[in-house]
Structure 1
Amino acid sequence: MRNYTQVSFFTLSAYFDTGILKYLIFTFLMSLYVLTISANVFLIVVICMNRSLHEPMYMFLVSLFTNELFGSSGFFPFLLIQILSDVHTVPAVFCFLQIFVLFCYGTVEILILAVMSYDRYLAICYPLQYNTLMTFQRILVLIAVTWAYPLLVCVVMTCLSTSLQLCGKIINKVYCDNYSVVRLACSDVTGNSIYGIFISVLSIFGPLMLILYTYMRILKVCFSGSKQTRQKAVSTCTPHLVSLINFSCGAFFEIVQSRFNMNSLPNILRIFLSMYWLTCQPFFNALLYGLNLSKIRIISKSLVFAKM
Structure 2
Amino acid sequence: MEFRQYAPELINERVSTFMTMTPEHAQWFAETFSKLVANVGQVVLGKPRTIGLAFTCLLSEGHMLLEDFPGTGKTSLARALAQTVQGTTNRIQFTPDLLPSDVTGVTIYDQQTGHFQFHQGPIFASIVLADEINRASPKTQSALLEVMEESKVTVDGETHEVGYPFMVIATQNPIEQAGTYRLPEAQLDRFLMKASLGYPDHASTVEILGAIGTRSRPKVVAPLITSAAVIDMIELASTVHVDPSVLEYVSHIAEATRLAPETTLGVSVRGCLALVRAAKTWAAANGRHFVVPDDIKALAEPVLAHRILLDPEAEFAGASVPAVLSRIITEIAPPQRRA
Scaled to the shorter chain, the TM-score interval is under 0.3
Q: Where is the strand percentage greater, Structure 1 or Structure 2?
A: 2
Higher relative contact order (CA 8 A, sep 6+): 1
Higher helix share: 1
Q: TM-score, normalised by structure 2?
A: 0.25
